């Protein structure tokens, strides 16, 4: 998704609510990233294991 002007407006609105202390602001931003879990970049999660079930069937005699 391409960044649009409304994205920047929302970012400014959120930034205005951060504390003035840079360390506190960064802690809040990091906590927010963990909370929503998709801000920086999608994390690669391992695919769930796929269990393969194989049935061996003896061929039937076609008489």
The pLDDT score that the predictor gives to residue 10 is: 94
Q: How far apart are CA 42 and CA 36, in angstroms?
A: 11
What is the pLDDT, as a whole number, of residue 21?
A: 95
Instruction: Give me the pLDDT at residue 28, please.
Output: 93
- Map out the domains of the chain as residue ranges: 5-40
| Tens digit of pLDDT at every position of the chain (63 positions) | 899 999 999 999 999 999 999 999 999 999 988 888 765 555 566 766 776 666 666 767 665
Contact 32, 39 (CB under 8 A): yes
Please tell me the pTM assigned to this model: 0.51
- Compute CA distances 21 → 17, 26, 63, whole Å: 12, 9, 86
Contact present, 53 and 47 (Cβ < 8 Å): no
What pLDDT shows up at residue 36?
82
């Amino acid at each position: 998704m391409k960044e649009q002007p409304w994205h920047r407006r929302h970012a400014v609105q959120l930034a205005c609510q951060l504390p003035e202390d840079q360390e506190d602001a960064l802690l809040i931003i990091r906590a927010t990233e963990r909370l929503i879990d998709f801000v920086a970049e999608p994390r690669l999660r391992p695919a769930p294991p796929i269990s393969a079930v194989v049935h061996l069937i003896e061929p039937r005699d076609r008489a």
